[in-house]
Amino acid sequence: MRLPDTRRDAGLSLLGLVDRVGFDAVGAGWGYRDESQSWRFYLFTEMTDTKGPLWVWTRLLKAFSKLNLPAGVTPLDVVIASPDEWLYRTQMVKAEKDPPLYTFITETSDLARSDYGIDRLWLLRANPEMVFVGKDKKKSARRFDMKVRQLMAA
């Protein structure tokens, strides 16, 4: 099964939106469940480790209320997770050049047996080199919070 172009485009568009508000996703991609034929868009960020998932999700929902999400995508389709989770850390990633973008795609049978509730995962971003250290982690969260506040005030 290939990632449909409409999902790829929606995912890249959503990734662009969260980048604009300083979300700093080190990874992102679509998860698919065969049984229910449902899609979830995963955003992997260290802010879940430093600030907690509720803190991140609250601000992301505020940003979504002001941004035009891609067609067919709702906030309930978005899942935030830590880049330290198994789902992100252990996936084999194959880069396929798609000028001017690099699309990262992975599929593994282990996903179906995991607790994530998905059978396939296609990563549109996999940048472990973006992982922040020390003070940079706090700066990342402050920048995200500030940009969301600016968006809400606009």
Contact 30, 124 (CB under 8 A): yes
Residue 104's pLDDT is 45
* Residue 22 burial (C-beta neighbours within 10 Å; 0-12, 13-18, 19+): buried
| Angle (CA) 104 13 83, round 5° | 50
What is the tally of structural domains in the chain?
A: 1
Rg (the chain; Cα; Å)? 15
Say how far apart CA 88 and CA 83 lie, in whole Å. Answer: 6
pLDDT tens-digit map of 69-113: 999 999 999 999 998 887 776 655 544 555 334 444 455 555 665
Phi-psi category of residue 59: left, alpha or beta, with phi > 0 → left and psi -120 to 50 → alpha: alpha
Region 136-144: what's the mean pLDDT?
Answer: 82
| Domain interval for residue 134 | 5-153
Q: Above 80 in pLDDT, residue 33?
A: yes
